[in-house]
């Protein structure tokens, strides 16, 4: 704003660049504030709803939205039928979008999403084909504001995975990550399974 208000005024081409930078920085601050608010609500013990969730529909909706972030990337979905858990639909969607956004930013090629029921647990896996995470960084990926050497110059604030962890645990689930250098990373969510809701009549 100071640059736009200086006398004599900046050339028209420079003004256009300044405005573009302002829009970009405003968007970045909005994202940061929203992510900090999500963490603050989680820290305050915000009560998440506990309602039956059909995993397939939440996954399909999350993937549909994630595809808008990069229309040239393929996201595949393999989900067993009639998988249900109990949780907060908005929170689960926010977790999935954070994982998909992370995979889009830090990998190339297809992203694979799988869900199945295993020993009374629902497992959801998001796998990418990125460069992988160095072992020294792997233990810190859920730390707030932590960004490894490979991602320190890229977009983001180091809050996506911590928010996903806080929301997952708030729904009674767990989150973990496995990674292999050159072989990509897989994030696994686990929630207690519940029987699908009965249909009257």
Task: Decide: helix, strand or coil at residue 189.
Answer: strand
Q: If 0-12 CB within 10 Å is exposed, 13-18 middle and 19+ buried, where does residue 153 land?
A: exposed
Answering whether pTM is above 0.85, one says: no
Q: If 0-12 CB within 10 Å is exposed, 13-18 middle and 19+ buried, where does residue 24 land?
A: exposed
How far is residue 193 from each of residues 6, 95, 173, 174, measured CA to CA in Å?
62, 18, 10, 13
Q: What is the pLDDT along the chain (201 residues), one digit of tens a residue?
A: 787 788 888 888 888 888 888 887 787 777 777 777 777 766 666 677 889 999 999 999 999 999 988 888 999 999 988 899 998 898 899 899 989 998 998 888 899 999 999 878 999 999 999 899 888 888 888 887 776 655 544 555 577 888 899 889 988 999 999 999 989 999 999 999 887 655 554
């Amino acid at each position: 704003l100071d640059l736009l208000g200086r006398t004599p005024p900046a050339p028209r081409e420079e003004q256009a660049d300044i405005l573009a930078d302002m829009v970009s920085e405003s968007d970045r601050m909005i994202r940061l504030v929203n992510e900090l608010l999500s963490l603050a609500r989680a820290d305050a013990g915000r009560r998440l709803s506990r309602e039956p969730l059909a995993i397939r529909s939440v996954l399909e909706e999350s993937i549909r939205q994630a595809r808008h972030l990069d229309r040239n990337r393929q996201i595949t979905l393999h989900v067993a039928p009639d998988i249900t858990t109990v949780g907060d639909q908005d929170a689960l969607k926010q977790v999935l979008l954070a994982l998909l956004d992370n995979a889009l930013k830090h990998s190339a090629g297809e992203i694979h999403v799988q869900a199945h029921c295993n020993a009374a647990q629902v497992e959801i896996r998001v796998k990418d084909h990125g460069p992988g995470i160095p072992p020294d960084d792997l233990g810190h990926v859920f730390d707030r504001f932590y960004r490894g050497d490979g991602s320190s110059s890229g977009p983001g604030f180091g809050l996506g995975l911590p928010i996903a962890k806080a929301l997952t645990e708030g729904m009674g689930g767990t989150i973990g990550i496995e990674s292999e250098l050159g072989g990509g990373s897989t994030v696994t969510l686990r929630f207690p399974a519940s029987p699908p809701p009965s249909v009257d009549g």
